[in-house]
Chain A
């Protein structure tokens, strides 16, 4: 069949989709169809309401057989949506699926030229004749299958990463769970209670943390960062940096011949350490030593030396004694693991709300962030759950909660998006305040209360019933009484239309969230795009929210966009399911868009080898000559080498020079050769 179609004069079938009125509303379908019939090589030009429907696809299948078509062009939506549909239809009709070409006349035409019917129609004609020009020259291609490594990696061990790792591991896949901090748990482990059920956050998270630590299929690597990512779906080679934590696990100790040694989490070392630093887990509100754990429930229960502050006095080594768990000379180690797919769950951090100077965070003692409030009200926090004013340690009776502190802000200082969970946790904070401090009064300064989830609106009702005061106005300014250190909140009660000045004991800023500092680095390693606001970009916001444009890499949790715990867990389970599919299938088809070397033309100069971003090219000896050779599985078909090759010796399959030149000719010369 290959030879048969190659020798034939091209016979292209053109199909124009109305997409209801999405396309037909702005483009003259009849005019376009009439035009299509005049394009060289077109033997058939048809139109249909919805080409992606079963009858639409059937048209293609039937015509291929009936008219002996060698190429198919569908003028419709973006190939991102329906290219696979029409490829399948072409295949069903007996044509190689790669002889199908799509002309995008919706996203790039009818939707953006809604008010210019003739202009849009003319543009559609251009798109169509270019697609026909390419379809006339398309060749049969055959996708390659590659085996998929039976393992996966999850980067980030907050609740999202933990859930994804548990799901992957429980479906029988060896899973590497990577966490840069010394313990797993992430942001959720810092929270006191969760809305709207008021579950204790640690109580519902620690069972999962323990499961992770014990799961036979999970290899947990804390205090570890991703250093390098090579390869492609099914065969990622990921190099990890195991940062020197200065403390050996019992297993590590055993490999060094110290039987029965290693860290057992007794804490003797911590007691003798003379260096005191703020504990980031407690938002800096409690001390830790240079050898530390974040909190008593850490997983794994292994101490960590902060080598930036350790003075290497050796007291801890002495205290550790026979266990010989501490090695102050330890250095970073690198390990490379092979995985089939990866899930990124790298989380978020708080927007530095001190940038909004009008609220005085870091200038006024009694203005704190919501995460600091979480630690203050948490029984295992720095004050044992006693809420106190930072300025004098007194119990605050009147607390204001400032919502949208940096969210929904288009000034360029804050974040333009809604951070999505601040409304709900501020309601929860108000509840906790009423519960813990009798006679206390909460004030919530809000623009809109976004209680969108299951049982969330009911929670709002409940907190209002408890006596929380809601003032509809965004806080304009906070001023501090220099003597009492009481913050005054200045805003307008927009419902009364009256400016208000409320003197409070303490103010909690529901700070916006933003991607972590490392997110950008991680995304570059894995080749994942970001959206305008810095969150990692999903493959499709509605239909592929867990995937990315890089095959085999998936997203879970807030790193893809602000979301609360239920949404994070749901997405993590989705990402785990999606990441497990190629692994369970055992092989993936790669699009056959790789470069090919035309050996007769290749001079063996090797310039392409260094240019290739994927290290897919090598120089080899063949028949006494040096020529370039492509490792097809590594090649992503980016075209860097093909565009550069001075001898024109590189053939980019499906994007070959003659095919592209024909498209340009069609556009500039109207199809004349």
Chain B
């Protein structure tokens, strides 16, 4: 642009800032990385909306999976990775089931989350989940309410998992340590304190 447009009022400048999408906003490797990590053909999307229409999260939130696929195709890395909606996918895979272009939109989201995590963009509750898994082997550990319900149904209080066989927890911890996931989670959480 030859001349920058300015307003004396700072708030007005933000509100009226130009929001064109320009090719230089795009990160050329973003699509490639997303496709590689997600192992899916994001660039074949024809924006039909079947994914968002299938999404149980969409009617209850501002999460629009189709928009994330669009951002992948256009290489809008910052838009995608800094959008908090990225973390609203429940990974139910309904969109992947129904996508007429045989794309796995869920895996596109997972890939983006991977890339976001590398930039330490990740909600705290996800990091808490990492800590839970490290400690108990479960993202959602068994609790008293659940135990009581299981007993009422004639089941053992603890399911056939690390809840019952705590000796397998070190194995899980080894895996998380290998990827440095726990340390990273601890680190980010500590920074936020």
Contact = CB atoms under 8 A, between A and B. Distances in A.
Do A and B belong to a common assembly? Answer: yes
Interface string B42-76: 00101111111111001100001011000000000
Interface in A6-56: none
Interface string B84-100: 00000000001000111
B59 A501 contact: yes
Contact count band on A: 20 to 34
A474 B49 contact: yes
B100 A410 contact: yes
Contacts of A491: 49-50, 53
Nearest to A411: B102
B100 A492 contact: no
Given A473-B49, A494-B49, A412 B55 contact: no
Contacts of A358: 54, 98
B7 to A, nearest CB: 29
Nearest to B64: A497
A411 B52 contact: no
A472 interface: yes
A494 B58 contact: no
B36 interface: no
Contact of B100 (A414, A473, A494, A499): A414
Given A411-B99, A492-B49, A501-B59, A476 B64 contact: no
B124 interface: no
Contact of A409 (B59, B94, B100): B100
A153 interface: no
B54 A476 contact: yes
A412 B47 contact: no
Contacts of B150: none
Interface string A375-419: 000000000000000000000000000001000111110100000
A493 B100 contact: no
Contacts of B44: 410
B174 interface: no
B119 to A, nearest CB: 25
A609 B133 CA distance: 75
B70 to A, nearest CB: 10
Contacts of B66: 492, 494, 497
Given A472-B49, A494-B48, A499 B55 contact: yes
Interface of A: 358, 404, 408-412, 414, 447, 472-477, 490-494, 497, 499-501
Given A447-B48, A492-B49, 9 more contacts: A408-B100, A414-B100, A474-B49, A474-B53, A477-B53, A490-B53, A494-B52, A499-B53, A499-B58
30 contacts: A358-B54, A358-B98, A404-B100, A409-B100, A410-B44, A411-B100, A412-B102, A447-B48, A474-B48, A474-B50, A474-B53, A476-B51, A476-B98, A477-B53, A477-B54, A490-B53, A490-B54, A491-B49, A491-B50, A491-B53, A492-B49, A492-B53, A492-B64, A492-B66, A494-B48, A494-B49, A497-B52, A497-B66, A497-B67, A499-B55
Closest 7 CB pairs of A and B: A476-B53, A492-B49, A474-B48, A492-B52, A473-B49, A491-B53, A476-B54
